[in-house]
Structure 1
C-alpha cells in the first residue's frame, strides 16, 4: 500500500514540474538608453507681436533617449534662463512621453518679463533634462540659444464723459471725469499708473499728474480738472482742448514708462481762485500787495472771505488787481444792500463803525456781506460755560486775538457773533480751524495762553498753551515741568521757586514741541538754555506773546 502512495506522489510531482517549465512565449526586451538627448528649436529669434499672443511662436523638439521603459515613464524638463547665467534660476516646464513642446507669444512674454526684461531683445539659453519618471538616469541636452523680443500690451485710455465739459464752482467738488484703462505688463516689478494732463498739442514735458497707484480706473473733481486746465494754459473763463494720457511705470517714479493713447477733452474753465484786495481808509487807500485780502477755497466756490480790522468808521473797495480799472474794481451798486458793481468801479462800500469785520464777496453773484465780530472763547471748559463768552483782546501788531484764561477739563470753541453765525472749531483736531467745526477738547486744568489768528484768509489757526519751567536748575531737573500761573495784574505767566545753579527753559504743555530759550528779551523757539548762576529763591515771568521773560532773585 505504501508503495502505491509513493508512486502517486511521484507522478503528481513530475507533472507539476513539466507544467512549470512549459514555455509561454518570448518576454519583451528593453534596450538600454543611449545616454544622450538632442534639443532643437524652431527658431533662433522670436519677435512677438500681440496678435500672436495665444499662438505658438517657438517649438522645441528633442530626440528619444531610448530608456528601457515605456515612453509614458520618461520625464523631460525644459529649462529656460537668461543667456550666460548657467541656468541658475531657470523657468521650467515638465512633460512626459513627448518629444516636443511649444510656447505662445504670451508665454514667452511672461518668461522674459519675469527675468526683468523691460523691452528689447532678450537672449535666452534653453536646454532639456531627461530622466526616468523617478528622476533616475538623467541626461542633459545641448543648449540652444533663442533671442526673444517681447511685445508690450498697449494701454488704451477712455474718458467718461468724453466732453465737452463746462466746469463750474457749483460742481467743483463733484467728480468731473472718470478715466478707465487696461493693464499692461513688463519687467518683474509692480506697475503704477497715473494720468498726465497737458494742453492739446503740448509735449507733456511739464504735465499735471494725478497718480492712481495700481488701479485701472480713477476720477478727477471739477476743482482739480479746472486747475489742471488752467495750469496747462487754458485761461479762466475760456474754452480749450486738453490732451490726456496714461503713464504706466515701475515704482513711484514710473521707471521705464509706457504711455497710452492721447485722449482729447474740451473744457470750459472758470475763475478758480478768487482773490480780492481790500483797499480803503483803513490802509490809506494803498492799492498794493500790502492791502489785506479775501480768498476762496474749493469748498466755498466763488465765495471769498477774509477779516479786516477797521480802527474807525470809513469805506473801502475790492480790487482784483492794482490798476483801478473798472473791470477789476468792485464797489457797492449804490443801494447799500450787499450788491457789488464794477460800473465805474462801483461806489465805496461803507463801514459803519470801528471793529473787526468778516467780509465775504462773490464775483459771480456780485454780492458781498460785512459782518462785525467780537471774538472770544465759550464752552464748558471756560468760566462762562456755554452761556457766556470770554472775550479776547485784539493785537494790531501781530494781527491776532489773545487771551489768558483758566480752563478746566471740557471743551470750547471760538465765537465771533452771539447768534453763533460765525464760530470756529477744529474738526481736524490740530491747530487749524474751520467754520462750525468740532469742539476743541481741554484735558488738563490749568491757566492757558490762547491765541486766535484770523489774519490769513481761509487758513485760520489757534493755539492754547499752558506754560512751565524745566531744567537742571529746577526741582525735578529735566524730568518734569514746574507749572506757571497767570498773573492778571501784570499780564504775565509767573512762578516763584527755589533754583540751584544750572540751566532751564520755558516749555509748553509738558512737551518739547514748543520750547523757548536764548535771550530773555527776545526768546526763540528751540533757543539755547538759560542759566542760573547762583542758587536761591526766584520769581520768573513769561509773556508768550511778546516772547519776553524776566528772572528776579528774591
Structure 2
C-alpha cells in the first residue's frame, strides 16, 4: 500500500515538473505560516579556545509545507536535511546532515571542521550558506527553504601536535609531535611516578586509556575512557601514542652517558626536560661525542610491571641542529665556547626539534619549589589521596611554607615536594599532630581533629607546626589597630566583614589569626601574603563602606562596594 502511495505521489510530481516554465526549475518549499531558516550570528570568528563552546545556532519553525507549483500536491511525510556550501547556489561542495528537530547548535570545533571540509581558507572570513532540503521519499523532487548566510573565519587545525592534559583534562605545557599529522605522536616527557594524563589532538579529540581492567597502554577516545598512567619511576620517558593502532608506550631512560671527546654521565632535570653534563673544558672549539643509554620499555605487553619491562638500547645522533633518536647512537658535533667550566645540554622540550649544545659555565638549574603538597590531609572529604592541597613558599631564604587547609584525614598524611610524585614524600620522623620533624623514610603524619588549620612548614630544617584557626580579624584601616572580627561564609576558608574606608591608612592593614599578632597576612593585588607587607588597597579606594572578603585556603582577598 505504501509503495502505491509513493508511485501515485511521484506521478503527481512528474506532472508538476512537466508544467514548469523551463527544464531544471526547482520546486521551492515555503512554510505556510512564514517559517524561516535563521542564524544566531552573521559573523563567527573561530579559535581553538572556542572548541567546546556553542558559537552558532540555526533555527527554523515547524514546516507545514506547500509547494510553489499549484499543480503539485504537498507531501505529508517529510525528510529534512540541513545543507551547507561555499556557494549561494550550492553548486560546489555541499555537506549535509539529517535533522529531526527545529534547530541545530554548532560548537567551535564542529563548525571549524565543517568549514575545513567545505574548503574555506584558514584565518579568512568566508561566507558559508545554509539551507534546508525537504523531501518525501527518495523518488520525489526536493523542496528548499530560504538561504541563511554566515561569514565564518576558521582556524588552522594543527594535527602535528598532541597536547598532554592533566587527569582533570586541564592544559599542561607538555606535548608530543606527529610531524606528518598521521596520528602517530612521539616525544620526551618528564613524568612523575604514576603520572596521569590525557592526550588531546588538534581537532579536539581526547585520548585516554581503554576503560577496562588489564588494559594498560591501550587507547580509547570514548566517554568511558580512563586517564593514561606512567610507571612508578619519576624521570624521562620517550613516549609514543599511536591513535591508529590504539596503543601507546613509554621508554623509561634512567641514565644517559656521553662518550667521545667528552666522557661522563648526564643528569636529568625534569622541570626543564633537559639532560645536562657539567665538565671542565681544556680546549675550545669543535667536539664530537655520542649520547646513549639503556632504557626500560613499557607497553601493553608489559603493563607497568617493572619486572616485565624490556631492556632497550637507545641513543641520539645526527647534527647538533637536527637530532635523531633511535636504538643506537651516532656522532653529534658541538661547539665548546671556551675553556673552563662548561655545560653540555640535551634539550628535549620541543618534540619537533631536539637540540644539543654547550654553554659556558655551570648551567645546573637552581630553583625553589613554590609549593609543597599534602596528600591524605582531606581524604575524609574527597575520598582519595590527591595533590589538591598545598602550602605556599613565604620565606625563600629559610625555605618556609604556609597554608590554611580544611583538614579531615582518616589515616594521617604526608608532605610531597613534587606534585603527582609519590616518591617525593616526607613523613614523620617524630612528633605529634601539632608539630614534629620530617623524614624521607617516615610514616604517615598523625592528623588532628577535623577543622581549619594553619600549617607552617620549614623545609630547611624539615619541621612542621599546625595551629587551629579559631578567629579571623582585620586591623589597621583608618589607622585603627583594634581587631574587627570577620565572619565565616558558606564557602570553605572564606571570611567576610564590612570595612568603612575614610582614607588611606598610613601603615596599611593586616588580617590577624586567633588574635595573635605573629600570625598575620598582608597582601597586594588580591593575593594574601603570610607575614607579608600590609594591605594598602585603601590608598586607591574611594571613601565609603566595602565588604572585605578573604579566603585563607586560596590565599585571596577582595573589596566590594556596598
Q: Could you tell me the TM-score, scaled by structure 1's length?
A: 0.32
User: Which protein is bigger by CA-based radius of gyration?
Assistant: 1
Q: Could you tell me the TM-score, scaled by structure 2's length?
A: 0.32
